[in-house]
Amino acid sequence: MTATEWKAAPRNWTTTLMFALTFLAALVLVPWYGFGHGYSGAAWMWFALVLCANELAITCGYHRLFAHGTYEAHPALRLVYLLFGGMALQNSALIWSAGHRIHHRYIDDPQRDPYCARRGFWFSHIGWMLRNYPSGEPDLGTVRDLQQDPLVMWQHRHYLAVALGMNFGLPLLLGWASGDVLGTLLLAGLLRLVVSHHLTFCINSLAHIIGTQPYTDENTARDNAAVALLTFGEGYHNFHHMFAHDYRNGVRWWQWDPSKWFIGAMHGLGLASNLKSVPWFRIQRAILETQFKRAERELEHQPDRPKIARLRQRVAEEYAAFQAAITAWTQAREQWLDTTRRAMADRWERSILQSRLKELERGLRLQNRRMRVLRAQLG
Ligand SMILES: [Zn+2]
Ligand SMILES: [Zn+2]
């Protein structure tokens, strides 16, 4: 499809009007009422709480649970996700997940990735929803598993009722309870909706445009702490596109990922189970592989000087050591899984294997550090 054909795609008036009118209304009405009457503390509190509930329902629910199946959730938690996810007005969990699975499968393909970042900031942020592009057509063949989930199907069938009920009913109820109906409608209803939209949209736009690529540079996805701050942890998007079945996006304990903490807390309460995470070694392997690829690319363009030849030699040596470590680790892990499978109560054998795995992991971490030093010499 060419650029002119993209422009010729028919406009989706429902989404265009919804985004434009809510945005304009928030821009005008919220300050107008604020200067004229002022807002109660309760209205601001409901704004913050409902915003958090919307965002977590999208990140922990729509994204990490329904689209990627990174854990299992109790029906009560799934229902909460579906109610507050519906409130975020981003379509039903079924349609959302169908589009998102296609985004992962065909990432950066302008013909097939529904919010392809290569088509520019505006398109990946919001433009993809304003016209009926062929790339945005949801393929329900990708969500057969979700079609078996009665709660997901219930929300899909009654999406409009859920969306309207939650967007008007909940703020009205909260406003009535706290004695500031109009203020709560404007803040927890209107402003919250617009802010929530654009925070989520930053994942498709900014998280594919600015940031680092530690785990893979084969796609546009980026890791960005500032975007993670805005998106409840989804800004660690380079990791996510590499390891989409991990329930975490910010994989290090200190990385700002409230969604992973929320899922962890739900696990603690017995409402989430079977949390999937990638073995640490595979993560390190991805980092090192990306480093080697970059080092090779950088060395290719260097003139043939003795210093460069030495560096080339060292990178080659490190690469050989890396391959040997991967082989050793895979073997040790196989053995470990084998003893577990045979349920061998030989604690001695298992502890030896475990310390061998630990030692290999430490080796890989050191190699990672050496590679960073080497690449610094190249730059
Ligand atoms: Zn993405
Ligand atoms: Zn994803």
What is the DSSP code string of 307-367?
HHHHHHHHHHHHHHHHHHHHHHHHHHHHHHHHHHHTT---HHHHHHHHHHHHHHHHHHHHH
Distance 245 CA to ligand 2 centre (A): 9
Distance 15 CA to ligand 1 centre (A): 21
Inform me whether the pLDDT recorded for 247 exceeds 70: yes
Distance 208 CA to ligand 1 centre (A): 6
Give 93's contacts (C-beta < 8 A, 6+ positions apart). 61, 62, 66, 81, 82, 85, 146, 152, 155, 156
Per-residue pLDDT tens over the stretch 116-157: 999 999 999 999 999 999 998 889 999 999 999 999 999 999
Distance 92 CA to ligand 1 centre (A): 19
Ligand nearest to the CA of 124: 1
Ligand nearest to the CA of 59: 2
> Residue 138's Cα: distance from chain center in Å?
19
* Rg over CA atoms, the chain: 24
Contact status, residue 325 vs residue 364, Cβ threshold 8 Å: yes
Distance 39 CA to ligand 1 centre (A): 37
Per-residue pLDDT tens over the stretch 24-83: 999 999 999 999 999 999 999 999 999 999 999 999 999 999 999 999 999 999 999 999
Inform me whether the pLDDT recorded for 208 exceeds 90: yes
Q: Is the dihedral of CA 75, 81, 83, 86 positive or negative?
A: negative
Distance 322 CA to ligand 1 centre (A): 29
Give 303's contacts (C-beta < 8 A, 6+ positions apart). none
Q: Tokens representing 262?
A: 């929320």
Distance 242 CA to ligand 2 centre (A): 10
Please count the residues of the chain. 379
pTM: 0.88
Distance 187 CA to ligand 2 centre (A): 29
In the chain, pLDDT over 70 holds for what percent of residues? 96
Per-residue pLDDT tens over the stretch 312-366: 788 788 888 888 887 888 888 788 777 777 765 566 677 777 787 788 778 878 8
Distance CA(183)–CA(175), nearest Å, equals 7
Nearest to 246 by CA among 209, 285, 283: 283
Neighbours of 133 (CB within 10 A): 22
Q: Return the higher-pLDDT residue of 379 and 354.
A: 354
Q: Quick one: pLDDT at residue 112?
A: 93
